[in-house]
Structure 1
Amino acid sequence: MSNIKATIVTGAGRGFALTVLALSLAACQSMKPAVPEAQPSIPTEYTALAQDGSPSIASQGYQEYFSDPRLEQVIALALDNNRDLRTAALNIEKTQYQYQIARNDQLPTVGATGSVVRQDTLSVTKPYTTYSVGLGVTSYELDFWGRVASLKDAALETYFATQAARDATQVSLVGQVAQAWVAISFAEQNLKLAQQTLKAQQDSYSLNKRRFDVGLDSEIPLRQSQISVETARGDVASYKTEIEQQKNALNLLVGQTVPANLLPDTAIVRITDNRALSAGLPSELLNNRPDIRSAEYQLRAAGANIGAAKARLFPTISLTGSAGYASTDMSDLFKSGSFIWSLGPSIDLPIFDWGTRRNNIKISEVDQKIALSDYEGTIQTAFREVNDVLATRANIDDRIAAQRRLVEATNKTYQLSQARYRAGLDNYLTVLDAQRTAYSAEQGLLALRQANLNSQIELYKTLGGGLTTTQAENAQVESQTTSNSTSSNN
């Protein structure tokens, strides 16, 4: 390794130093490669539903999209108290400080120095002491090749990526809170259905017991009805447990215990007042999904790291300087004639590094390819998620209508089988079969209604909804940060 240091003390030396300073301000070159073009093979339109040209529901804030004010308040509590979202916000703060450090590396570091040195040399007859104080610039790198600037750009893109990751956490949180809130309502509805079934089974058990007591039936129908009673009783206990578990899940998402007056106390019929749930144009998804933006910023950061790695192929030129006072007598330290200064560059150029620098470039280029693949994969995943939800939405109404007709048919069958059993035309096994079928159909209808509401929430989430205000704030922060970055380079 070659390490050349010089102290400039002559007029020619001062001219050289000024030339170096001018070059450092005017000749910085960035070696960042162009951002590679992603080829995710995205569709030109969504597969499941034809779009009517309406704006995407992602443009609506959650207060505008969701119709129940209680749910809106629960979401607001979650945005204030959720620990994952809080961690994501702290990560933004952390990367902001890291970016500030990277920016500061473009500026010289000035520090105060002071020393007392006792020494002995051949030119003097006895040891002497030297006192000195001053200000100094320590190893200020003249960024001819843009290494420091590239590292600053990488830190900036990482900051933006972390900011977008926080937005993605918020989108996910809003959807999870809404689905957990809905789940409590449907657990309550399933509990009511199980309780109704239990009462019906207890009535059947009482009827069978009377028939058995008077000798009309054998003990088999009595025990069959008892089995149904205990099964229904077990379902009631299970749904009571599920309700508490769903409340615990919601409390965890919100970050505190949700007040009872904000929990759903009736069956939820709709989650939004929107009549048409438009997904907008596929091209809008790239702007609306924060996870896609985060992946794009990571790709840009990888390109900046390539520029920093390439700059290491060239000499690192640093400037050091100091100005102050020195004297062999403490009382003469600040007197006329004791002022001293020094200024000089140092060049650091590895000659033989056995390919380390070039391998670092290859590593950074591979990192960029990985980031590009992740970016393309994130886009593909986003479109798959939207298309999956749209596929559900395309058929959910038909499924609910069919299930409703199935419930009507099974309930009618159950009523007929009970009448035939009481008339002595059928055995009790027919009643049990009809009852189980009717109960299962009722449960299936509740599950489809919950799936319908969940699909509305999921569509809003997969489109990147709920960030209207946040995106505006982030755009202002990004513009200000970029402006500051540009001014610092100038």
Structure 2
Amino acid sequence: MFKTTIPALGLVLLSGCSMAPDYQRPAAPVAESYSGAQTTTSNSSQHVPDWQQFYQEPELQALIELALVNNRDLRINELSTEQLRAYFRIQRSALLPNLDAAGNGTRQRSPADLTYTGDSSISSSYQVGLQMPAYELDFFGRVQSLRDEALQQYLASETAQASVELSLITSVANQYHTLLALREQRALASEGKAAARKAYKINKDSFDGGVGTELDLRTAEAQLEAYRASEIAFQEQVRQAENRLGELLGTTIPTSVKASDATLANSNMSTDLPVGLPSELLVRRPDIRAAEHVLQAANAKIGAARATFFPSVKLTAFGGTASSELSGLFESGSAAWSFAPQITLPIFAGGRNKANLQVAELQKQIEIANYEKSIQTAFREVADALAVRSTIDQRIEAQAARVEAARRRNELSDQRFEAGIDSFLPVLLAQQELFAAKQDLVRAQLDRLTSQTALFAALGGGWEE
């Protein structure tokens, strides 16, 4: 029986139809090009480089590799993806009938008033064989739609995993560059403190000699303490940045990184990023692809909800041997089989099926909005990064010129003070301006690196399905 029944069931499976709507990708709700950006139509050779090509500093590459191995958030996402993959395999197995080996025995006593002879009796029955539990023939695609929903959820999680990985990579890079910037700012505060200590000593010697005023002395002293406080504050921020970097890495920071003398100016990153057209973000960005998989899962769920309005057909079958005696199970003539089809047609469910369909359709509308929102967010992130990239070099050039002017002003103020032409106040103002200019230059250099990383991430970070 099973040699003919199983192939027949396979043909029935193939003949099942899906009630899910035909999926149509929503139109991208963004402009065809980025405002103020020069974009070119990309071809197959224009890919965003992977992170090893983009971040060319060996020290930073080593940190990213540590994070990819040890970061706990990434590990949790990986395990969640594997969990959804297992759930998909469970749901997919419902498309095929189960086949179990089963054996059972029954021995019972019937009282006299329940028998035809008027005497009590003891009866026995034993059977062993293969059985197929209730198997749903998927005529209207309910099981197939549930399988498709589970598949899309798994694919969404797998694609989102790439987005989490990209976020981790860029977070490590940004934190590393922030650490370098804080170290440079701490060094500037230390240089300022040294200059302020020298000025304080000059003013103290003048005051002790009866030449200088106490006002100049206390002004120099306040300046010295201000630089000392700034150095301590930057030292605290450096330690906090190291703690944050260690958290991202999931392990301790290598000693070589803590003792490194790397600077922002020496940081080497690829600037050749093919921007292309906004429509290419649909393929480049893993978060957009994940949102589309979630939308496709919602679309499949509608098919499962629609199928509940139609009849459900289930089959139960058994084939083996049966006997009233255990010793007779395998004797000639003990073969037994049963075949029990069951059809269920929904008549009244209090509006539950209709409400479930409405919930599924509304969920799809929600996911369409989420998908469109993810596209708009991606468009804005690319446009923001391009806006910074178009002017950041000019800002750094202006800051560098400001530093040179402040440095010359500081030299002239020192000369006039030492010559007794001016009081210490012009020197104080010149030192403050030079310190502020150098700090702003460091921040501008950090902004350039951060914006390059932001553009790398906004374009998809070299991810390919």
TM-score of Structure 1 vs Structure 2, range by shorter chain: over 0.9
Match of 2:189 among 194, 202, 208: 194
Q: CA deviation at 1:348?
A: 2.1
Question: 1:102 is matched by which residue type in structure 2?
Answer: Q
State how far apart, in whole Å, the 2-side matches of 1:314 and 1:344 are. 20
The Cα RMSD (Å) is 2.3
Residues 295 and 371, structure 2, Cα contact 8 Å, conserved in 1: yes
Find the partner of 2:270 among 266, 274, 277.
274
Q: For residue 390 of structure 1, what is the aligned residue in structure 2?
A: 386
1:320 aligned counterpart, secondary structure: strand
1:115 counterpart = 2:104: yes
CA deviation profile, 1:323-377 (whole Å, cap 9, x unmatched): 1222222222222222211002112223111110010000000110011000000
Deviates more, 1:280-289 or 1:414-423: 414-423
TM-score by length of 1: 0.88
Find out whether 1:178 has 2:173 as its counterpart.
yes
Q: In structure 1, what is the equivalent of residue 204 of structure 2?
A: 209
The equivalent of 1:24 in structure 2 is 12
TM-score (norm 2): 0.92
The equivalent residue for 2:424 is 428
Query: What's the counterpart of residue 351 of structure 2?
Result: 355
**Matched ranges for 1:24-423 at <5 A:** 24-51=12-39, 59-119=48-108, 120=110, 122-123=115-116, 125=119, 126-262=121-257, 264-272=260-268, 274=270, 276-423=272-419
CA contact under 8 A between 1:183 and 1:246: conserved in structure 2?
yes
More divergent stretch after superposition (191-200 vs 74-83): 74-83
Query: What letter corresponds to residue 295 of structure 2 in structure 1?
Result: L
Query: For the Cα contact (< 8 Å) 2:275–2:459, is it kept in 1?
Result: yes
Report if the CA contact (8 A) 1:194-1:235 is conserved: yes
* Higher mean C-alpha deviation, range 131-140 or range 164-173: 131-140
Cα offset, 1:54, TM superposition = 7.0
Identity of aligned residues (%): 38
Which residue identity is paired with 2:240?
Q
* Unaligned stretches of 5+ residues in structure 2: none
Give 1:213 deviation, angstroms.
0.9
Secondary structure, counterpart of 1:435 in structure 2: helix
Tell me the SS of whatever aligns to 2:360.
helix
CA distances 1:38-62 after superposition (whole Å, capped 9, x unpaired)? 2342121112321356779852121
SS of 2:416's equivalent?
helix
Give SS of 1:335's match: coil
Q: How far apart, in 2, do the equivalents of 1:358 and 1:277 lie?
A: 50
Q: Alpha carbons of 1:408 and 1:18: their partners in 2 closer, same or farther (altered >3 Å)? A: closer
Aligned residues of 1:35 and 1:299 also touching (Cα < 8 A):
no
Displacement of 1:425 in angstroms is: 3.0
Task: Output the CA distance in 2 between the equivalents of 1:332 and 1:92.
Answer: 52
What CA distance in whole angstroms lies between the structure 2 residues aligned with 1:53 and 1:137?
57
Deviations, residues 4-23 of structure 1 (Å, cap 9, x unaligned): xxxx9xxxxxx9x8998477
Separation of aligned partners in 1, 2:332 and 2:15: 39
Unaligned runs of 5+ in 1: 1-7, 9-14, 476-490
Aligned in 2, Cα 1:206/1:22: closer, same or farther, shift over 3 Å?
A: closer
Tell me the amino acid that sits aligned with residue 449 of structure 2.
L
Which SS does the other structure have where 1:127 is aligned?
strand
DSSP 3-state at the match of 2:321: strand
Change (3 A) 1:53 1:402: farther
Partner AA of 2:346 in structure 1: P
Please show how residues 470-489 of structure 1 align to structure 2 within 5 Å: 471=464, 475=465
Give me the whole-angstrom Cα distance separating, in 2, the residues matched to 1:418 and 1:26.
91
Q: How many residues align?
A: 455
